[in-house]
Amino acid sequence: MKVAVYGKGGIGKSTTSCNISIALARRGRKVLQIGCDPKHDSTFTPTGFLIPTIIDTSQTKDYHYEDVWPEDVIYKGYGGVDRVEAGGPPAGAGCGGYVVGETVKPLKESNAFYEYDIISFDVSGDVACGGFAAPLNYADYRIIITDNGFDALFAANRIAASVREKSHTHPLRLAGLVGNRTSERDLIDKYVEACPMPVLEVLPLVEDIRVSRVKGKTLFEMAEYQPNLNYVRDFHLNIADQILSEPEGVVPREIPDRELFSLLSDFYLNLNSTSRGGNEIVCDQQDVPLDFTIIR
Q: Is the pLDDT higher at 131 or at 43?
A: 43
Residue 285 confidence (pLDDT) above 60: no
pLDDT value of residue 203: 93
Yes or no: say if 244 and 27 are a contact pair by the CB < 8 Å rule: yes
pLDDT value of residue 279: 45
Instruction: Specify binding-site residues for ATP.
Output: 10-15, 39, 180-181
Q: What is the pLDDT of residues 97-119, one digit of tens each?
A: 667 777 777 777 778 888 999 99
Please count the CA atoms within 13 angstroms of the CA of 196 that sit on its side-chain side: 3
Q: What is the pLDDT of residues 7-55, one digit of tens each?
A: 998 888 989 999 999 999 999 999 999 988 777 778 888 888 888 888 7
Task: Map out the domains of the chain with their CATH numbers.
Answer: 2-269 (3.40.50.300)
**Inter-residue long-range contacts of 183-187, CB under 8 Å, 24+ positions, other chains counted:** 184/148, 185/148, 186/148, 186/267, 186/271, 187/148, 187/149, 187/150, 187/153, 187/264, 187/267
Helix (H) or strand (E) holding 273: helix 257-277
Instruction: Specify binding-site residues for [4Fe-4S] cluster.
Output: 95, 129
pLDDT value of residue 286: 43
The per-residue pLDDT of the chain, averaged, comes to: 83
pLDDT value of residue 277: 47
Instruction: Specify binding-site residues for Mg(2+).
Output: 14
Q: What angle do CA 292, 293, 294 make, to 5 degrees?
A: 110
Instruction: Specify binding-site residues.
Output: 10-15, 39, 95, 129, 180-181
Yes or no: say if 180 and 12 are a contact pair by the CB < 8 Å rule: yes
Amino acid at 29: R
